[in-house]
A and B are shown apart, each in its own frame.
Chain A
Amino acid sequence: MDKYEAIIGLEIHAELMTKSKMFTGAPVVDSVEAEPNTAVSPLCLGMPGTLPVINKKAVEYALRVALALNCQINQDNIFARKNYFYPDLPKGYQISQYEEPIGVNGWLDVTVNDEMRRIRIRRVHMEEDTGKLTHVDDGTSLVDYNRAGVPLLEIVTEPDIHSGEEARAYAMKIRQILRYLGVNSGDMEKGVLRVEPNISIRPSGSAELGTRTELKNLNSFRVLADGTAYEIERQAKVLDAGDRVVQETRGWNEAKKRTFSQRVKEEAEDYRYFPEPDLPPLYISDEWIAAARAALPELPDAKAARYVNELDLSAYEAQVLAQERAVGEWFDTAVTAGGAPKSIAKWMINELFRLMNEHRQMIDRIQVTPQGLVELIALVDKGTINNNTAKDVLAEMFTSGQSPQEIVEAKGLAQISDEAALATAVTQILDDNPEMVARYLAGENKLRGWFVGQVMKATRGKANPGLVNQLLSQQLAER
């Protein structure tokens, strides 16, 4: 047993992909690409006389996430003011949910090292994002308010996580679900998804909680796993040396692969939350909840389980195809179009994904349609083309967008299954290579592959391999 046990809770902030901001019509823009301060309304600047109005779509998105994370929905929602002075929000407060968040008591199952763990989710709440400060060397900061007021969801776990790998697995699954729901792009480098672990350790078996530190500015899942693991080690060394862990916020130094102190929290922050007087209460009706639940897509775990149980795919195939919603839906469409699920899965994973990688294309942009792949597989099954030709046809479909039938006809790729024609070709090869025939007849059986290869070459790869083998057997036996 390890000397210490790590207790980790995760806070995830996810911007919601609405068109306009949480409480105003200013557009939501890519905060990395857009020119600064080009998506700002008077409300974003905290101008006197401005009033917030809730973006219904943002509530809808938050509701979907809360449901997908198995939360109980609070029907009476209250927004609160979280008061603090910092230039990232000119109002002097952030509108957030405090006492009555939209979702509570949820959970998510994650698999780490083949072991399933249930992570409880304490709350899911709506708030607004803050502006972006860029620190300049001369002691000033530049403030861009494009991001201020963008709808933001905060997802907080119970302290159920015990390692960096578990933290990563949970965060990746949250990202996958957010992407499935179409509410967040999951782009951590752009900061639309931010993961902050709270980490403490205690002697194994102890019931007391140790002092925790919070890690911020982790911009990838790998950094989340590495930073968390490092922090657990660091705290263990501190305790081993007889010192105490200081409650603080720490950052990650990627070059040195270690965490560093950013801000010591000596006393609890005092945000003086109170109900936002400018926003009347938000009531989420039973009907609204039912409609949102009905509109939820099939989620990745359910999809993968269905692929295994109903379509007989391997766990690996199911997991790969259910990874991204668009991929799963492409596969589902192909299955509906009448293809054998197992063949479709193999063709997608082995060939289509290779082509997509080669051409750096996402599945929703490719010219190959699910129907096209099903037709291609049918051509193979019928014996019109062989497997190798089919791979070339798929590559052609990928670049030209033509149907497999069109390509096979235009290029004369149809497999030669004409027995007389193939018999002639076989005879020719045997006649042209008497010494090889002699060696084969003398017992060099492995030369058989060479004969097949010669026939394929002579027919430009179009010969029906089964028929070639059969004819070779016949004719060699006669020599």
Chain B
Amino acid sequence: MSDLSRSDVEKIAYLARLELTEAEKALYQRQLSAILHYAERLNELELDDVPPTAHAISQQNVMREDVVETPLSMDDVLFNAPQTAQDQFVVQAILDE
């Protein structure tokens, strides 16, 4: 696999809503490429018969019964909200880009 391009890094940063300086873009381009190359070593193994693994832990079917627990009080819900109105969080309207 080839290295990540500058525009790949910019896209990833945009998707994560990160603003990067040119120096950071260069740094992350290098670092992310190195991580990908490291992961690429898996391709050296014969893995055709191994099912994809989504989780490293051996547990499965951790479930709860459908039982209601007391919700948070209004004070707790809105405790961290920078701005509230009518018992709701106030955010800037997200307009279509």
Contacts and interface: CB of A to CB of B under 8 A. Distances in A.
Main secondary structure of the interface of B (DSSP, over half): loop
A19 B74 contact: no
Contacts of A338: none
Interface in A26-47: 26-27, 35-42, 45
Nearest to A264: B96
A25 B68 contact: yes
A15 B11 CA distance: 34
A260 interface: no
A115 B93 CA distance: 47
Interface string A10-29: 00000000111000111100
A151 to B, nearest CB: 9
A201 to B, nearest CB: 25
A36 B86 contact: yes
A83 B15 contact: yes
B48 to A, nearest CB: 18
A53 B62 contact: yes
Given A41-B69, A41-B72, A143-B89, A283 B94 contact: no
Nearest to A23: B64
B71 A19 contact: no
Interface in A43-95: 45, 53-59, 78, 83, 85-87
Contact of A141 (B57, B67, B93): B93
Interface string B50-68: 0000110101111111111
B88 A55 contact: no
Contacts of B72: 40-42, 45
Given A36-B86, A272-B15, A143 B91 contact: yes
Nearest to B85: A142
A334 to B, nearest CB: 33
A281 B15 contact: no
Nearest to B66: A57
B77 interface: yes
B63 A55 contact: yes
B55 A40 contact: no
B63 A53 contact: yes
A139 interface: yes
B61 A283 contact: yes
B78 interface: yes
A136 B64 CA distance: 38
Interface string A270-304: 10100101011111000000000000000000000
B53 to A, nearest CB: 9
A263 B95 CA distance: 10
17 contacts: A18-B66, A38-B74, A40-B72, A56-B64, A56-B65, A140-B83, A140-B85, A140-B93, A141-B90, A142-B85, A142-B89, A142-B90, A143-B89, A143-B91, A145-B89, A264-B96, A270-B11
